[in-house]
Each structure stands twice: as C-alpha cells, then as structure tokens.
C-alpha cells in the first residue's frame, strides 16, 4: 500500500494535466469515477447559464437570437467541438440527442450508398452496441425496407457483401471499454462500397479520434460524458466535407431550411452542415455546453490519452494487488485497445456498487455482473484510482 501511495503521489506530481482539475466544481469528499456516464461540472457553466437566463432571455428576449448568437449556436459550438474530434470547421453541428442523430445518420448513409445502379439494402450494426443504436437501426430497417445484421466489430470486414449499405459501430464498447480500430474498420467498410457511421459517445474527450485523417463518412455522439456538457446536453453530427453537398438527412426542419424565415411551403436544405439541423435549438443546454468547452483551452488531447492509459493501467494494478484473490475479473483490455474506463466482473456486482457509492466512490453497475469505472483525465487523479481500489477491497472483504 505504501509503495502504491508513493507511486500515485509521484504520478500526480508529474501530471501535465493536474491544473485542469481546478476547472471543475468537485466535491473533494467524493471519488467520482462515472465520467463515462455524466461528466463533472465545469466551474464556468453555472455563471454562463445564469447570464443566459437572466440577461439574454430575461432582458433581451427574442433579440438574443441575433444579438447573443442564439441562431448560429449549433454551428458555432460545433466548430468549437470539432478539434476534439479531429474535424475541421463546418463539419460538425450540435443539436438534438444522440438517438435522433443516429437515426439521421443511418438514413442519410443509406441514401448516400444507394444509386440508380446499386441498390444496397443491408445495415450492419454493432452486435455489442449500446442498446439505443440497435433499436434505431431496427427502426430504420423497418421504415426503409432495409435488412439488418448484428455483427461483432472485429468480424465486420468478413461480413461485408455487395448488399451492405451502411455499418454503424461504437468506437468504445460501453460495457467492457474495448476500443475498436476506427481507421482499419473505416477503410474496410469503404473498400466494400458501404458508408461508415461511428458512435463516438464513449471516446470523444478521452482520446484523439482524427475523423478527417481517417476519412470517416459520418459520426455522432453525446456531449455529457467526457465532454462535460451536463445532463441532457445536445449531441453532435459530423459529416465528411466532400459528402455534405450530397447529404440528404430525413429530419430536416425549419432551422435546416436554406431560408428559414421565409416560411416557404416547400423544403429546400441549407448549404453546408446547417442542413443537418432540425428544429429550434435547445439554447440553455447548448450554451451550457459552449461554456463547458472552455475547460479544453490549452489542453492537448494527446496528453489526455496518455494519462487515460496510465490511470486505467494503474487502477487495474491496484485492484490486482489489493482485492482478495479471484474476487474480481478485469474485462477491459490490458493493452492500449481500450477507452478510458475499467470494467470489472464480480458476484453481486449491483450490491457491491451500492456499497461503493455509500462509501463515496461513485462508479456504475451494468447487469448482470459488471462494475464500471470511468476515468476522466482532466479531473481524476492517480490518488483517486488508488483510493477507489482500496475501498473496493474493503467492500469485497
């Protein structure tokens, strides 16, 4: 225990991201390891939201649409988010939920993949996917007449056929923390003539992604996990630049019209990424996210990934040394093919997590037997990882 404590102190002292912790409003009595479900509150958000409510809404009223930049916020915040996704200006728009954007992306991808002489009809969905993605893929298949196949990500290249139109995969498996090979899988799908859609909900803000470099077609994700946008924060939609002119998304509303205030009876999509907008933007949560993105000032996402791997490796090592033999089993890969979480299997996992939370170590539980611990590198310390492992030992004993 003494050696681990000394190691944690040395790692925290050498951490290039240690000052970022002060940008968050944290309860020092709680070890918070559930940033893969809901990120911590950045200090600047409360004041920003208060100003939006009291001044922009309370005093300026509808004038804030123009004077406070409400109307352009989905694209403006998208441009702020883009560097964390490895995307460029004009490629990301923020709005609606991840579920809605998954639906948009799948239908748009089907339309991109189908031509007059190539009527591809198969959707391949991640067999280990977060349930919503699978539900929506099934809904899109029923609505469009497409077929659907559930395939494990590492088996996707062998499952591709001339009928495959679109493949939807999660970059990081929400249960185990397995990180899939985005560059290789994207290349395989595109070589087969299909469109690649990635759900980045469990990776954005925890590692470099490089959507432009790897020529990803479409991507979606939430902003309330490692991006710290807050509960109900709007999601994002990314499209490769050369695909945007051909993009035909199925949920075009008045805010994605080329001339929205003309109130024309016929729909005509806006130019650029604005065509992916839908209805009136969710201003309060959108501007909370805008303020939350301030914490990324001067942060190098490569440092975030380096710390993420070190934190998770250290936690696994602490658990191995401190917990009773054979009491837990690590499900998360021990090489670098993992996200920023550690998943452990144990008996009575639900009861175990409740006991951890009662002792102010907050992770989460996934049936039937998984304890999940999310390590947000901007505010989680090595000392926190050691403390959590020590409390887990007490609970398991």
Q: What order of strands is seen across the sheet that includes strand 122-126?
A: 92-94, 236-239, 218-221, 195-199, 164-170, 122-126, 147-151
* Residues forming beta bridges with residue 196, ordered by sequence position: 167
Helix, strand or coil, per DSSP, at residue 375: coil
Specify the pLDDT at position 115: 79
Mention the CATH class of domain 50-296. alpha beta
Selecting among 24, 224, 238, 379, the annotated active-site residue is 224
With beta carbons less than 8 A apart as the criterion, state whether 380 and 36 touch. Answer: no
> What is the fold of 2-32+300-396?
3.90.1150
Distances (CA, A) of 368 to 30, 40, 215, 348: 26, 27, 37, 9
pLDDT the model gives residue 201: 98
User: Exactly one of 199, 217, 290, 364 is catalytic; which is it?
Assistant: 199
CA 131, 134, 140: angle at the middle one, nearest 5? 140
DSSP H helices, the chain, are 2-14, 43-51, 64-67, 73-85, 98-113, 131-144, 156-159, 182-191, 283-292, 301-322, 349-358, 382-396
Coil, helix or strand for 362?
strand
- 103 counts as catalytic: no
What pLDDT, on the 0 to 100 scale, is given for residue 1?
Answer: 52
125: nearest Cα among 180, 166, 175: 166
Q: Give the DSSP letter string of 4-42.
A: HHHHHHHHHHH-TTGGGGGGB---TT-EE-BTTTSPPPB
Q: What is the pLDDT of residue 318?
A: 97
User: In the prediction, which pLDDT does 281 show?
Assistant: 95
* Catalytic option among 32, 103, 130, 382: 130
**Structural contact between residues 362 and 33, judged by C-beta atoms closer than 8 angstroms:** yes
30: tokens are 């709680």
Report which of 113, 118, 70 is spatially closest to residue 94, judged by C-alpha positions: 70
| Contact between 206 and 338 (Cβ < 8 Å) | no
Would you state the pLDDT for residue 50? 98
Res 2: pLDDT: 60
pTM here is 0.96
CA angle 132, 137, 143 (to 5 degrees): 125
Predicted pLDDT of residue 113: 93
SS3 179: strand
Task: State the DSSP string of 70-121.
Answer: TTTHHHHHHHHHHHHHT--TTSEEE-S-HHHHHHHHHHHHHHHH-BTTB---
Of 225, 275, 307, 338, the catalytic one is: 225
- In the set 21, 104, 240, 372, the catalytic residue is 372
Catalytic residue flag (residue 130): yes
Backbone φ and ψ of 357, nearest 5°:
-65, -35
- Residues 27, 232, 73, 206, CA torsion sign: positive
- In the chain, what are the domain boundaries? 2-32+300-396, 50-296
199 is catalytic: yes
What string of pLDDT tens digits covers the 397 residues of the chain?
A: 569 999 999 999 999 999 999 999 999 899 999 999 999 999 999 999 999 999 999 999 999 999 999 999 999 999 999 999 999 999 999 999 999 999 999 999 999 998 777 789 999 999 988 899 999 999 999 999 999 999 999 999 999 999 999 999 999 999 999 999 999 999 999 999 999 999 999 999 999 999 999 999 999 999 999 999 999 999 999 999 999 999 999 999 999 999 999 999 999 999 999 999 999 999 999 999 999 999 999 999 999 999 999 999 999 999 999 999 999 999 999 999 999 999 999 999 999 999 999 999 999 999 999 999 999 999 999 999 999 999 999 999 9
């Amino acid at each position: 225990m003494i050696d681990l404590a000394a190691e944690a102190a040395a790692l925290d002292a050498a951490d290039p991201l240690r000052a970022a912790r002060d940008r968050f409003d944290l309860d020092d009595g709680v070890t918070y390891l559930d940033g893969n479900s809901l990120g911590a509150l950045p200090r600047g958000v409360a004041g920003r939201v208060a100003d939006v409510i009291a001044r922009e809404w309370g005093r300026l009223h509808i004038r804030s649409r123009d004077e406070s930049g409400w109307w352009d916020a989905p694209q403006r915040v998208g441009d702020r988010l883009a560097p964390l996704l490895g995307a460029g200006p004009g490629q990301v728009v923020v709005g609606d939920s991840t579920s809605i954007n998954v639906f948009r992306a799948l239908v748009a991808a089907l339309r991109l993949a189908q031509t007059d002489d190539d009527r591809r009809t198969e959707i391949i969905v991640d067999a280990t996917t977060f349930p919503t993605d699978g539900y929506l893929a099934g809904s899109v298949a029923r609505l469009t007449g497409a077929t659907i196949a559930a395939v494990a990500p590492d088996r996707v290249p062998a499952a591709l056929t001339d009928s495959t139109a679109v493949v939807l995969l999660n970059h990081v498996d929400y249960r185990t923390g397995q990180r899939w090979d985005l560059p290789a899988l994207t290349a395989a799908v595109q070589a087969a003539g299909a469109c690649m859609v990635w759900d980045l909900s469990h990776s954005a803000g925890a590692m470099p992604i490089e959507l432009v470099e790897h020529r990803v077609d479409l991507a979606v994700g939430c902003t309330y996990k490692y991006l710290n946008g807050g509960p109900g924060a709007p999601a994002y939609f990314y499209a490769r630049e050369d695909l945007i002119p051909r993009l035909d998304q199925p949920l075009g509303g008045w805010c994605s019209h080329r001339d929205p205030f003309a109130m024309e009876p016929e729909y005509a999509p806006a130019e650029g990424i604005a065509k992916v907008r839908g209805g009136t933007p969710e201003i309060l949560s959108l501007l909370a996210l805008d303020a939350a993105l301030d914490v990324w000032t001067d942060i190098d996402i490569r440092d975030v990934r380096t710390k993420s791997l070190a934190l998770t490796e250290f936690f696994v090592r602490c658990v191995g040394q401190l917990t009773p033999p054979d009491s837990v089993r690590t499900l998360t890969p021990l090489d670098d093919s993992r996200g920023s979480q550690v998943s452990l299997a144990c008996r009575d996992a639900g009861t175990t997590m409740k006991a951890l939370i009662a002792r102010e170590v907050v992770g989460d539980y996934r049936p039937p037997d998984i304890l999940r611990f999310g390590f947000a590198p901007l505010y989680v310390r090595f000392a926190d990882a050691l403390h959590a492992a020590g409390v887990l030992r007490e609970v398991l004993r």
